[in-house]
Every structure is written in C-alpha cells, then in structure tokens.
C-alpha cells in the first residue's frame, strides 16, 4: 500500500524534508496546501538544496469515507509504527513510518477535522536530545502560526513519536477545522511550509512569494509544558450528557476558571446543563459540531504558566487576529 506522494528534487544536494497532510481523512486545508506546494515548487528546483516529499492525503481510506478514521476505526495518529500485516490503518501507519524514517526533517499538517476547531498552532515534542529539540523549536517558530507549543515527548503512536525515536526534528500543526477548507488556512500552511524551507536552507535565493505576507507578524505565544497529558487534546471538558452543544465562548478567548463555556440541551430541549471552565487560560480547542455524545470532549484550555504568557493570551483574546479573516484562495496562487 504505497502512499501517493509528490517528490521535488533540487538541483543542489541537501537534506530531505517530508510534509504530510490527511493523516485524518476530514482535514482539508493541509491537503489543498500540499497540492498547491506541489505545483509551486517544481519551478524552483534550481534554488532547492535537497529534496521535498509531499503526501497530501496519507489516510486515503478515511478520506474516501469522509471521516477522520478508516473502516477499522483506528486513529492513525495513535497507531504508528503500525504493521504491514495488520488492519488498513495499521498498514498505512507502517508505510508512514517508513517515509518518516527516510526524512531528515518532518512536518505533519492537521486541523481539528469535522467536529472541532483548533486555534492555529505549531507543536513539537520536548525531545531529550537538545539538538533535535532546538531544530524542532526553530521549525515551529518559523512556521509562523500564533501559538507555538512544546509538549512532553512521552507520547506514543503518533507520527511525531516515530520521528522522535529516529532523532528527526519534527513539528505538527493545527489550523481551525469544522469541516471547512478555509482559504486563510491554506495560505497559512503554504506560507508556513515555505518559511521552513527557508529556515532549513533547503530553499535559497529567489523564492516563491505569496501576496499576503507572512503570518509571522502576529503575536506569537510560545509555551513549553513537559507535564504528562499536556498536548493530548481529547481529554478535556467531557460532556456530562449527550444532546445539542452550544458554545458560549470563541476560540482564542481568555476565560477564568468557573466561566461558562457553553451549554448542552437534551434533544427535546427540556433538560440542559451548563459547562464551566475547569482552568483559567485561552480556549485552544473548541467543539464546533452541535450534536454531542456523553463523554465526548468539548474544549481544551491552554493555561498560562507566567504573567507574561497570560498577558500575551489576553492580547490574542482581545484582538481579532488577521489570520482569522479569510482571503480568497484565487488570490493566493493564480
């Protein structure tokens, strides 16, 4: 089961960068951004020092089902390194693992998928090797999204776990979600990948330009949190009942512990319950899909660990960041 990929080989020698999208089948901005990058980069092979492998849709069976996961219901982002003789997701995980191990640097592009939205962020593992950590951090900062999030390296099954074990500097990114394919997200991902190609000196000299400038002008919040559980998005604020979910906060808002995040009403509307924040901080992830089952997660709050972080979060909260405004996809590359 070879993964469909685009290879761009530079005219100069250099390292190998792998960029993947569609590890989850319902995350569309990464797929479109990598298709666009695949059209853009071949004109720049003269300036390309090394090679770039793009896999726009890693999890094609999930994509064909219009779902996050394939028919075996396994989360590909928890199944690595997988197995060549296993179920469909295990086989894809094994192929992805082979691709990652052949790379010198790795970027894994995500969104929140159909049901949740994630504040745009670039994340990395706090790798025990300071050189790998430093390069991963540098890549995350260069990508240019407003939140840069270093979390524990003791997470298994992820694409980044494979990169960690192979000592390959790696980041993952998130950009909104909710089943859309926002032009702003495609732009941010395209620009972010170009930023990293420059940062790693794979692209030198004359570079592709995207009219709307880089996302680097935004306030950037960098948080490193080595606690267990940090970076695991599905565990916060589980729904106490199933029903219809209506959030009362927006993504990026700064909330205090005890603030109302939203309410769930029963299907008939007769019963309802309010959901309160169990932490103070920034709303990093928010469920956007109205129908919710008991125990499904509703929101993740990113806690500040210093007064300075708190200050930056409040700034993000009160300004409507530019990246939230859509630009026409047609304006990007024509």
Say how far apart CA 16 and CA 84 lie, in whole Å: 24
Size of the site for Zn ion (CB under 5 A): 2
Residues in 106-165 that interact with Zn ion by CB under 5 A: 110
For 78, counting Cβ atoms within 10 Å of its Cβ (0-12 exposed, 13-18 middle, 19+ buried), the class is middle
- Cα gap 94→81, rounded to integer Å: 5
Residues 118 and 251: their CA atoms lie apart, in Å, by 7
Q: Which of 90/108 has CB closer to Zn ion?
A: 108
**Structure tokens belonging to residue 242:** 């199933």
The minimum distance between CB 126 and Zn ion, in angstroms, equals 20
Q: Does 287 bind Zn ion (CB under 5 A)?
A: no
At closest approach, how far in Å is the CB of 158 from Zn ion? 10
Candidate ranges 22-30, 175-183, 306-314, 315-323; the one touching Zn ion (CB under 5 A): 22-30
How near is the Cβ of 310 to Zn ion at its closest, in Å? 28
Residue nearest to Zn ion (CB): 110
> Peptide bond before 203: cis, by omega within 30 degrees of 0?
no
List all residues 6 or more positions away from 50 whose beta carbon is below 8 Å from its beta carbon: 10, 12, 13, 14, 15, 16, 17, 104, 202
| Closest CB to Zn ion among residues 233, 241 | 233
- Closer Cβ to Zn ion, 163 or 203, answer by number: 163
Name the residue nearer to Zn ion (CB basis): 24 or 127. 24
Nearer to Zn ion, 24 or 91 (CB): 24
Q: Which residues within the stretch 56-115 sit at the binding site for Zn ion (CB under 5 A)?
A: 110
How far does CA 76 lie from the centroid of its chain? Answer: 14
24 binds Zn ion (CB under 5 A): yes
Interacting residues with Zn ion (CB under 5 A) = 24, 110
């Amino acid at each position: 089961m070879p993964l469909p990929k685009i290879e761009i080989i530079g005219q100069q020698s250099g390292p190998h960068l792998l960029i993947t999208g569609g590890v989850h089948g319902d995350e569309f901005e990464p797929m479109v951004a990598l298709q666009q990058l695949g059209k853009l980069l071949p004109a720049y092979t003269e300036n390309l020092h090394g090679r770039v492998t793009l896999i726009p849709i890693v999890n094609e069976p999930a994509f064909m089902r219009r779902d996050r996961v394939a028919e075996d219901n396994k989360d590909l982002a928890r199944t690595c390194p997988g197995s060549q003789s296993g179920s469909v997701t295990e086989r894809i995980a094994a192929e992805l693992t082979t691709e990652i191990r052949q790379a010198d640097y790795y970027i894994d592009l995500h969104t929140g998928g159909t049901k949740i939205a994630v504040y745009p962020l670039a994340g990395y593992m706090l790798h025990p090797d300071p050189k790998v950590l430093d390069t991963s951090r540098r890549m995350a900062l260069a990508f240019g999204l407003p939140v840069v999030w270093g979390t524990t390296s003791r997470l298994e099954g992820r694409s980044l776990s494979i990169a960690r074990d192979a000592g390959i500097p790696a980041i993952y990114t998130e950009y909104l979600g909710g089943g859309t394919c926002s032009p702003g997200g495609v732009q941010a991902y395209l620009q972010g990948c170009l930023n990293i190609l420059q940062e790693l000196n794979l692209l030198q000299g004359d570079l592709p330009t995207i009219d709307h400038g880089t996302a680097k002008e935004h306030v950037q919040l960098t948080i490193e949190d080595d606690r267990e559980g940090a970076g695991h998005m599905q565990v916060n604020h589980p729904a106490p009942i199933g029903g219809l979910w209506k959030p009362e906060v927006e993504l990026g808002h700064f909330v205090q512990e005890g603030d109302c995040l939203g309410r769930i009403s029963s299907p008939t509307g007769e019963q309802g319950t309010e959901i309160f924040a169990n932490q103070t901080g920034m709303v990093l992830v928010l469920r956007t899909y109205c129908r919710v089952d008991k125990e499904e997660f509703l929101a993740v709050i990113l806690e500040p660990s210093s007064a300075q972080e708190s200050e930056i979060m409040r700034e993000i909260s009160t300004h409507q960041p530019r990246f939230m405004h859509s630009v026409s996809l047609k304006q990007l590359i024509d």
